[in-house]
Chain A
Amino acid sequence: MSLLQTGQNPGPPAVSSSAAAASEMTGTGSAAIRAERLVRRFGEVTAVDEVDLDIHRGEIYGFLGPNGAGKSTTVRVLCTLLSPTGGRAVVAGYDVATQPEKVRLRIGVALQEAALDPKQTGIELLKLQGRLYGLSRAEIRDRLADLSQLIDIGDALGRPIGTYSGGMKRRLDLAAALIHNPEVLFLDEPTSGLDPVSRARMWEEVRRLNAELSMTIFLTTQYLEEADELADRVGIINGGRLVAEGSPAQLKRSVGNDLIIAHVDGRAEAARRAVEPLSGVRSVEVRGEEMVITAVDGAATIGAVAVALAGVTPVRHLTLRTPSLDDVFLEYTGNRFSGSQIPEGDGRPGGPDNSKRQRDLVEVGS
């Protein structure tokens, strides 16, 4: 299955000749991450189910899905903590299954839970991290100076990490992932647990890492707005399968131009029958007392919708809006995203009941 190239990517940045040679050797071209029918099973449970990825150098790729969808397992396979059960993945030009040591030299990873030793001080942890990546004392000193602004915790760097706040730990974790100047940065839910202001600033940092260093960033998140804000492209994973992929704008366009949301007091099916024939209405979906009406031109259609509904049932709210990634998620999985609270039911860990509308990967083109 060939995956969509969005055309939004600024193109491959300058890379080292060795990495370029490796890419040539493994046939990954300009891809920083490429996965082909990637599978990871735990016993009978398939956590990652034939996922294809093709992520360009210098791209920010948002990997979106609810808890248990397979995001973290995919990251753990791509960053060599787990072997794939099936398929193949190449990161920074090297195969994760057969060349994990080479992959580890080229990636930085900030896992979902900040993986830190509470008894070390921040500075000890960063220096040790630098030594394990083969950096000299001078190089470690230089990198600490570079990263000091990011860490931005002043004297606390000399204190045991166990005394840090959650935000300080997150920043230290990110700094540890960056100490060796990785080509590809994996961020597994990097803003989980941060307050909104800290989250916005973390987003800014991610943008700058990408813009100024051309660093490829693979970002998993449970937050729709995070993927919307940061990612050049978004992949939606659900029940281990990649169910949609494209730029946020493309994904939104794929579910209709505008949405009219009506909350009615009963007789929803009758209301559906009244609205469906209207000119400009593409589809009507009823969930309880909520009607989601997809329209080509919402502004031109909402008046007719209001009149049609008024003749059938009382209308409590009538809202016109453009589609969000939540609507995209609904379209491709059959469930509202609503953070991490996706109901389970398809037999996979954390997977939703998506039997109605589950489909194979949808490639959304412009």
Chain B
Amino acid sequence: MISISITAVGGRDRAGIQARPASPLRDVVSIAGRALRAVPREPEAIIPPVFIALFFFVVNIGTLQHLTQSHIKGFDIKAFMLPTAILLGVTGVSRAGSLVTDIQDGYLDRLLLTPVRRLAILTGHMVADVAIACALMVPIIGLALGLGVRPAAGPVGVVLFLLMGCLWSLAFAGFGYAIALKTGNPAAVNSSFLLFFPFLFMTSSYVPRSQLSGWLSVIATWNPVTYVLEGLRSLVTLGWQWASLGKALLAITAVGVLSMTLCLAALRGRTRRG
């Protein structure tokens, strides 16, 4: 049997405590805080991407190290594969799945009934995503350093490497949120990561672009992931290559503009009251 108290509620504070709009920053921090609190309760959302990234990193090195050492003088396969592992790890990491759950549970309606800014619901989740992506990169980079990789751009380059990884993660996460808000379907959101696979493999993920041939070379040239990989790779293997970094940031921006445009349109559609 359920017990409900019949004591009066809140009478003494009726006049004193009143709702008021929170600041935009507080809105974002509140939503992000909730998203981050959920992370340790959902290890299944975090462990697989880290495992897959580490797995492919180690296996690819084991597969190609002997071949590359014997045929390409001075080539460091571990440094070369690090950006590939990073993109595998952080791409598709987002709280879009939990947003779908919010839609299905009606919790999104509860949020929409509060004065919270609609954009803050999205940006709060994305802020959490950036924090998660950053945390995911740490063990991968740690393993690479442990295996002897020494980033050519130094410690500042590692920071930029992390930042670019986070920005890429955020840019790609926009697709997941767009699908989540548009469909409210968890299966559709989960499959959004599959969209990324062709883009990752039709690029210079395993060999330099100069070694690609025919149609694959053409596709890789137009594939923005190629430039993200090359920008990240330049920090590890070459040092400060401004052209590569510029192209990488441009590619991230282009993908981000596309995904965020879709995402904001989906948010407008989901929160439209008409």
Contact = CB atoms under 8 A, between A and B. Distances in A.
Interface residues of A, number: 61
A117 B102 contact: yes
A152 interface: yes
Interface in A108-136: 109, 111, 113-120, 124, 128-129, 131-135
A100 B114 CA distance: 10
B14 A80 contact: no
A287 to B, nearest CB: 38
B107 interface: yes
Interface string B4-15: 111111111111
B195 interface: no
Given A81-B109, A100-B273, A133-B22, A152 B10 contact: no
B194 interface: no
B19 A133 contact: yes
A128 B34 contact: yes
Contacts of A205: 4-6, 9
Given A152-B4, A181-B19, A201-B4, A104 B273 contact: no
Given A146-B13, A201-B4, A111 B21 contact: no
B99 to A, nearest CB: 11
Contacts of A134: 19-22, 26, 115
Contacts of B101: 117
B19 A180 contact: yes
Contacts of B110: 111, 115-116, 129, 176
Given A146-B10, A212-B11, A213-B10, A120 B34 contact: yes
B10 A178 contact: yes
Contacts of B111: 132
A196 to B, nearest CB: 10
A146 B110 CA distance: 21
A209 interface: yes
A107 B20 CA distance: 12
Contacts of A300: none
B18 interface: yes
Nearest to A100: B273
B146 interface: no
Does more than half of chain B's interface fall in helix, strand or loop, or is it mixed? loop
Contacts of A201: 2-4, 6
Contacts, number: 158
A150 B2 contact: no
Given A81-B273, A111-B106, A168 B9 contact: no
Interface in A40-90: 79-83, 85
Contact of A180 (B5, B11, B18): B18
B22 A131 contact: yes
A83 B272 CA distance: 8
Interface in B12-52: 12-15, 17-22, 26-27, 30, 33-34, 37-38, 41-42
A80 B115 CA distance: 11
B30 A131 contact: yes
A265 interface: no
Given A80-B273, A139-B17, A160-B41, A132 B115 contact: yes
A212 B22 contact: no
B243 interface: no
B41 A149 contact: no
Contact of A149 (B1, B5, B38, B109): B5
Interface of B: 1-15, 17-22, 26-27, 30, 33-34, 37-38, 41-42, 98, 101-102, 105-107, 109-116, 273-274
Chain A to chain B: the 5 pairs with minimum beta-carbon distance, closest first: A167-B2, A115-B106, A180-B19, A201-B4, A198-B2
10 contacts: A81-B112, A82-B273, A105-B20, A117-B107, A119-B42, A119-B98, A131-B26, A134-B20, A135-B19, A149-B7
Interface of A: 16, 79-83, 85, 100-101, 104-107, 109, 111, 113-120, 124, 128-129, 131-135, 139, 142-143, 146-147, 149-150, 152, 160, 165, 167-168, 171, 176, 178, 180-182, 194-195, 197-198, 201-202, 204-205, 208-209, 212-213
